[in-house]
Copies of this chain bind each other. A is one copy, B any other.
Amino acid sequence: MEWHAKPTGRQGGMAPATRPRALLVLAAWVLVSAAAATGQVPTSVEVPSSPLVLKSRGSFILGGESVRQTPAQLSSIFGRPLPEGGHVSVHQMFVEFMVPMTGDGVPVVMLHGATLTGKTYDTTPDGRMGWYEYFVRRGHPVYVPDQVSRGRSGVDVSVYNDVRAGARPASALANAFRQSDEINWTVFRFGPRVGTPFADQQFPTSAVGQLAKQAVPDFSASLPSPNPNVSLMASLGVRLEGAVLMGHSQTGALPLDAALADPSAAKALILVEPGGCRTKQFTDEQIAALAKIPILIVFGDHLETPTGMFGFSWQDAYEDCRAFIARVNASRGIAEMLYPPDMGIRGNSHMIMQDENNLQIADLILGWIARTTKGARQ
């Protein structure tokens, strides 16, 4: 599998990158990103036509462990090594939230995907309202975490500093990956090849440079096992007395794990563009447990686009999730696929919550939440 589809659109075998193709990709990228290369300004964000009235808002921090680290692991201050170690907190989860003044919607937790933060659900790259604020305006308290090890949740740098101090080999450093703009173009399905959008593309590709600025290094590989994001998502749901748990991409299927960890955490589960649904990995008992919770799985358009990423295919992910839905429903579940092309809505990307029709998609999701959580345990 090639990294980028060739300009002809043909997919070949695992060919080494060739110089001319690399230049072509680079040239295409420069063309696309030039308009959006500079940063944003305050007026980049649209002002809504009506005020937002909040009962409360703010942030809190879930979980975390206080661990004692060595002077080398804390590293130096003022360029001088520390004489003593001490305690720092690791593996906590920052959560921001807004609760609307009116409305009685069930709380919604929106967890982001790889190399991104909670910013995913806020103002879109081209300055429109994101799902975070929109769901609040539609009467739902909304909670937006940064995944543990990223953004305001922070990452444990004890190994980094041990390596820096020569106490551990460089190979001890955890994978900390970033997705290049070139990778994202096809993996996020903005178009068939870098720099070329689909004719019906819903992602605001003129602002793709702003999406790049939302990205941060992904230190997920530094996390302990089991992944604390699962238990924290579950405990947040429990504390909210049952919430709609939403994940995206890397965390697309995480709401399933959170619900299995504690079913009382979930009034409903929404899997947005998961990398797959792990259909065959669940036991019958687990499927029976998941069948008691309404589940919505959301995919955008152009799933057949070659991702260029190690044989990964969105079409495969979609088919797996369809099989998952069938398995859950065979167990008297209430799982459903929201696939906009079925309704004639075309061109949605992997970043569907940032697409130009993001609020249209939100309305479909909100309608589903209203239908399925009516009468859910309060």
A→B interface (CB under 8 Å): 3-4, 14, 16-17, 22, 25-26, 29, 33, 37-48, 51-64, 66, 68-69, 74-80, 82-89, 92-94, 96-97, 99, 101, 117-119, 122-123, 127, 129-130, 133, 143, 146, 151-155, 157, 160-161, 163-164, 166, 170-171, 173, 175-183, 209-210, 212-217, 232, 235-236, 239-240, 309-310, 312
Whether B33 lies near A66 (C-beta < 8 A) is yes
Give CA–CA (A92, B212) in the complex, Å.
10
The residue that A179 contacts in the complex, of B63, B74, B127, B232, with Cβ under 8 A, is: B74
Which residues of the other chain, B, contact A25 by a CB distance below 8 angstroms?
Answer: 84
Whether B66 lies near A178 (C-beta < 8 A) is no
24 residue pairs of the A-B complex, CB under 8 angstroms, read A41-B62, A42-B236, A42-B239, A51-B53, A51-B101, A58-B129, A61-B214, A74-B177, A74-B180, A75-B178, A76-B177, A80-B310, A87-B181, A88-B180, A92-B213, A94-B119, A96-B122, A153-B216, A154-B217, A155-B217, A160-B160, A160-B176, A164-B171, A164-B176
Whether A164 lies near B170 (C-beta < 8 A) is yes
The residue that A173 contacts in the complex, of B86, B129, B164, with Cβ under 8 A, is: B164
Whether A180 lies near B57 (C-beta < 8 A) is no
Give CA–CA (A215, B157) in the complex, Å.
12
The residue that A133 contacts in the complex, of B22, B41, B58, with Cβ under 8 A, is: B58
Which residues of the other chain, B, contact A82 by a CB distance below 8 angstroms?
Answer: 3, 183
Task: Return the 8 tightest CB-CB contacts between A and B, nearest first.
Answer: A86-B180, A154-B216, A58-B123, A86-B182, A40-B60, A75-B177, A39-B63, A61-B213
Whether A61 lies near B87 (C-beta < 8 A) is no
A167 → B minimal CB distance (Å): 10
A90 → B minimal CB distance (Å): 9
The verdict on A16 contacting B127 (CB below 8 Å), with A39-B63, A239-B42, A310-B77 known, is: no
Which residues of the other chain, B, contact A46 by a CB distance below 8 angstroms?
Answer: 56
Give CA–CA (A176, B163) in the complex, Å.
12
**Nearest B residue to A125 by beta-carbon distance?**
B61
Give CA–CA (A88, B214) in the complex, Å.
10
Give CA–CA (A3, B164) in the complex, Å.
23
The residue that A210 contacts in the complex, of B61, B164, B166, with Cβ under 8 A, is: B61
**Nearest B residue to A40 by beta-carbon distance?**
B60
Whether B61 lies near A57 (C-beta < 8 A) is no
Q: Chain copies in the assembly?
A: 2
Most chain B CB within 10 A, of A66, A119, A123, is at A66
Whether A240 lies near B154 (C-beta < 8 A) is no
Which residues of the other chain, B, contact A33 by a CB distance below 8 angstroms?
Answer: 66, 87
Give CA–CA (A45, B210) in the complex, Å.
32
Given contacts A51-B101, A88-B180, 9 further A-B contacts (CB under 8 A): A22-B84, A37-B66, A39-B60, A45-B56, A52-B57, A74-B178, A87-B181, A89-B212, A92-B213
Whether B163 lies near A173 (C-beta < 8 A) is yes
Whether B163 lies near A215 (C-beta < 8 A) is no
